[in-house]
Structure 1
């Protein structure tokens, strides 16, 4: 890419301005010194009385990954006996819809260790985390009112994490987010996208089951997409072998990204099928290397100073 370029994301349709300021070397984030165990941390071993557990792995003995109720949920727990309208409630005014703020919102404590991310601990630790995601999603989807389960992680204060102990979150709603609706098509755009991109300079890595791409129009510098090669609708359709394959790839990918960016702040989100719908499972990683300002917030046009071809090359060289 020579000079500035404006690109449109082929899946969601948003616009990205790729700046000509292409860094020869990305900024390295410094690792913050964090103790292995914090007596004040509600997620650390020994502080189990500070949280309300909903699930754990392994189920007996010392827990290695655990699901707990969110102390400050953005939705109240949705009971099967609750009566909800199908598409929302129309008030007296013609424009306004609302649901009661009901659903699920849990925290997943990724690991016992206060100072070490699960991807730095190896494949089995990562596999247990993915297995917990699957278990909690399965539980939430059994509720007849739930239409979508959202799995995400905030790492670092710049990415919105309120506690340093490695954790992720699962929320479930009686509606489908607009972002997911935009990605849903009669013909799967992601299957076509993989075929187009696997031989492009934005290709990063792959194994038998999954592929990593630096998206064509990334909103974030060093944004990465991890996609299932097969048309899998959600994590619920993945067995042990596939989850192990995904774990192996994520460990390799985060290791390479840390070599490039240091201990970088990030969010990730798992995009998967709403209840009863078709979709293509993928995980999107958003490094938080800059702050969105007026342009992004006011227009949904995003400026990215690192073109995806460069980002793919940097990460690929460290795999």
Structure 2
């Protein structure tokens, strides 16, 4: 039985096709390379600081430092430095001529790596309260740092975990790109939001809190499998308070954000194993109408010809069923083989 579902407030659709469904155990996998301990060849590991560009921000015992060419800071908690192979550059060369009517401009921007731990195989699901809260503070600091730069119109903050999710290094890290252009996906959302009397994210938040798609809730945030899900086990995290960007987060909000993100990642691992995944922050500075959200998507399905041709995604696990699996394992030890239906 298939069902075509419409996005909450955008003219976008997905197909829930459970006739093609698999159990979570059919998706589950492991990525043994991420379990390796410190590697002399891993440039992100603690002790290998000279193998990366100088850090622009080093977090150590609650203080922030910066490397110099002569001295690299050791025994850090989090380390941020420019990507060695950046997609954008603060001093790009001028663009070439591509023909009349074809627009191009310099590839200005910033591309930063945020190393989440000096320990090679450490996962966010294993972070302590102090570590996960600290990482959320780093996220806020770095996003605000680049959002304040001239010519920057959007700061993209995301994590690729696993090779299939786009990670070129298996050491735990996130990335940040500061762009001189406004992403079209956010522009479409903002246009739709401004046409509503009430924030549609606030409205869907109230709806999902009472739905079977709810996965986890704490004092400040809600995590749920969205009604419109592009792929199996997609999860959205929304603050209960209407907040448009990380820059508006008080210190009291950072730990609950990390706490609920950690809970979802623990559920993923219990149900799906060590599958690759992405998470992405959607936020806008100086745009009070927008409602920040964090979206997670395991790399289970692949966009093929139909999806590329139509922009409509086929999802073989309904959000309701995905939530039931993730809710059952949330913050609890696995009682049975992951994915076994009861």
TM-score (norm 1): 0.91
Give distance in 2, aligned partners of 1:282 and 1:221: 19
Relative to 1, partners in 2 of residues 1:92 and 1:28: Cα closer, same or farther, differing over 3 Å?
closer
Relative to 1, partners in 2 of residues 1:176 and 1:274: Cα closer, same or farther, differing over 3 Å?
farther
Of 8, 15, 22, the residue aligned with 1:17 is 15
Give distance in 1, aligned partners of 2:8 and 2:188: 11
Give the match for residue 119 of structure 2: 113
Give the match for residue 339 of structure 2: none
Of 89, 112, 136, the residue aligned with 1:76 is 89
- Contact 1:78–1:104 (Cα < 8 Å) also in 2: no
Relative to 1, partners in 2 of residues 1:315 and 1:69: Cα closer, same or farther, differing over 3 Å?
same
Any residues of structure 2 matched to 1:102-141 within 5 Å, and which? 102-141=108-147
Of 34, 53, 76, the residue aligned with 1:63 is 76
Any residues of structure 2 matched to 1:242-253 within 5 Å, and which? 242-253=253-264
Of 263, 267, 272, the residue aligned with 1:256 is 267
Give distance in 2, aligned partners of 1:291 and 1:113: 31
Of 307, 311, 325, the residue aligned with 1:300 is 311
- Contact 1:65–1:108 (Cα < 8 Å) also in 2: yes
Give distance in 2, aligned partners of 1:11 and 1:137: 27
Q: Deviations over 1:71-114 (max 9, x none)?
A: 011111169xx99xxxxxxx842xx4333111111010011111
Relative to 1, partners in 2 of residues 1:16 and 1:36: Cα closer, same or farther, differing over 3 Å?
same
Give distance in 2, aligned partners of 1:202 and 1:15: 18
Give distance in 1, aligned partners of 2:109 and 2:44: 23
Aligned length: 308
Deviation at 1:229, TM superposition (A): 0.7
Any residues of structure 2 matched to 1:264-275 within 5 Å, and which? 264-275=275-286
Question: SS at the partner of 1:170?
Answer: strand
Deviation at 1:12, TM superposition (A): 3.7
Give distance in 1, aligned partners of 2:17 and 2:29: 21
Give the match for residue 8 of structure 1: 6
Q: Deviations over 1:212-243 (max 9, x none)?
A: 11011111110000001110111111122100
Give distance in 1, aligned partners of 2:159 and 2:24: 26
Deviation at 1:309, TM superposition (A): 0.4
Q: Deviations over 1:150-183 (max 9, x none)?
A: 0001000111111110111000111210111122
Mean Cα deviation higher: 97-106 or 270-279 = 270-279
Please say if 1:239 is aligned against 2:245.
no
Of 177, 180, 203, the residue aligned with 1:174 is 180
Mean Cα deviation higher: 13-22 or 213-222 = 13-22
Please say if 1:228 is aligned against 2:213.
no
Give the match for residue 47 of structure 2: 46
- Contact 1:122–1:251 (Cα < 8 Å) also in 2: no
Give the match for residue 87 of structure 1: none
Q: Deviations over 1:44-88 (max 9, x none)?
A: 111111112110112366211110110011111169xx99xxxxx
Gaps of 5+ in 1: 84-90
Q: What's the C-alpha RMSD, in Å, of the aligned pairs?
A: 2.2
- Contact 1:123–1:251 (Cα < 8 Å) also in 2: no
